[in-house]
């Protein structure tokens, strides 16, 4: 069973300007500022040039054939959290459901030597989108020459439908809950609802 992972930032903005600085022009970081209402939320930028927002990081494990969510978790926002959450979700599949994952499809954020080496240690083929300047980061023609690799690159994009639905219909673009555990519970309920709607569409009329 081929899997795909990605990340969703669940923003909860408290006492913060859109440019990531206060009215004195001071820069803000997790070392100097903390939310007054949600101590677990962390300042995080989605990319260069983007403003920092108080956020959580949501991660989803999806099966590729039908685009259903098979695992979801919410963690503190951070640059290395994505790959740690991916391994956590893989462990849950094996320990709780006895599912041995064969391949893992993911975007360029997961293209690093350490993560790919860990997948290979677990006998999981890394169908990771390549960053051109990282040719030696564990991916080469042994992996990318197969049709299954390119199929995973197409199928993994189905996960964007999950995040789009969770953020809009599920109402988690800005979480209404305080604390990671409550936010994770809301995310899991939202993913379960998405699965039910997805299954209804897959069943022949």
| Residue-level pLDDT at 27 | 62
| Residue-level pLDDT at 24 | 46
**Within a domain: 203:** no
**Within a domain: 200:** no
**Within a domain: 204:** no
The total number of structural domains in the chain stands at 1
Model confidence at 53: pLDDT above 50: yes
Model confidence at 199: pLDDT above 90: yes
CB-count exposure of residue 55 (10 Å: 0-12, 13-18, 19+): buried
For a pLDDT cut of 90, what percent of the chain falls above it?
28
**Within a domain: 28:** yes
- Residue closest to 65 by CA, chosen among 6, 3, 10, 20: 3
**Within a domain: 31:** yes
**Within a domain: 49:** yes
**What is the pLDDT averaged over residues 32-43?**
70
| Residue-level pLDDT at 164 | 92
Angle at 78 between CA 73 and CA 80, to 5 degrees: 85
> Who contacts 186 (Cβ-Cβ below 8 Å, separation ≥6)?
172, 175, 176, 177
Model confidence at 26: pLDDT above 60: no
Q: What are phi and psi of 106, to 5 degrees?
A: -160, 165
Segment 117-148, tens digit of pLDDT = 999 999 999 998 888 755 656 777 778 888 88
Segment 180-196, tens digit of pLDDT = 899 999 999 999 999 99
Q: Specify the range with the lowest mean pLDDT, choosing from 6-10, 84-88, 104-108, 118-122.
A: 6-10
Provide the token pair at 192: 């379960």
**Within a domain: 202:** no
| Residue-level pLDDT at 202 | 87
What is the pLDDT confidence band of residue 41, given thresholds at 50, 70 and 90?
confident
CATH (domain of 94): 3.30.420.10
Provide the token pair at 145: 């020459």
Provide the token pair at 176: 């209404």
Domain holding 107, by residue range, is 2-190
**What is the pLDDT averaged over residues 34-51?**
72
**Within a domain: 50:** yes
């Amino acid at each position: 069973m081929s899997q795909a992972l990605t990340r969703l930032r669940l923003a909860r903005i408290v006492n913060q300007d859109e440019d990531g600085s206060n009215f004195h022009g001071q820069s803000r970081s997790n070392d100097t500022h903390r939310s007054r209402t949600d101590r677990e939320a962390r300042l995080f930028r989605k990319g260069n040039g983007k403003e920092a927002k108080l956020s959580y990081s949501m991660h989803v494990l999806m099966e590729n054939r039908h685009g259903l969510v098979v695992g979801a978790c919410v963690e503190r926002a951070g640059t290395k959290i994505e790959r740690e959450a991916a391994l956590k979700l893989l462990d849950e599949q094996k320990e709780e459901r006895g599912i041995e994952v064969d391949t893992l499809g993911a975007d360029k954020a997961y293209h690093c030597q350490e993560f790919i080496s860990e997948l290979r240690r677990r006998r999981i083929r890394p169908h990771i989108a390549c960053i051109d300047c990282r040719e030696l980061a564990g991916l080469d023609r042994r992996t990318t020459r197969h049709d299954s690799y390119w199929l995973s690159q197409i199928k993994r994009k189905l996960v964007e439908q999950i995040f789009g639905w969770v953020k809009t219909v599920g109402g988690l673009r800005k979480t209404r809950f305080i604390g990671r555990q409550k936010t994770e519970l809301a995310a899991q309920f939202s993913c379960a609802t998405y699965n039910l709607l997805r299954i209804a569409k897959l069943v022949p009329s």
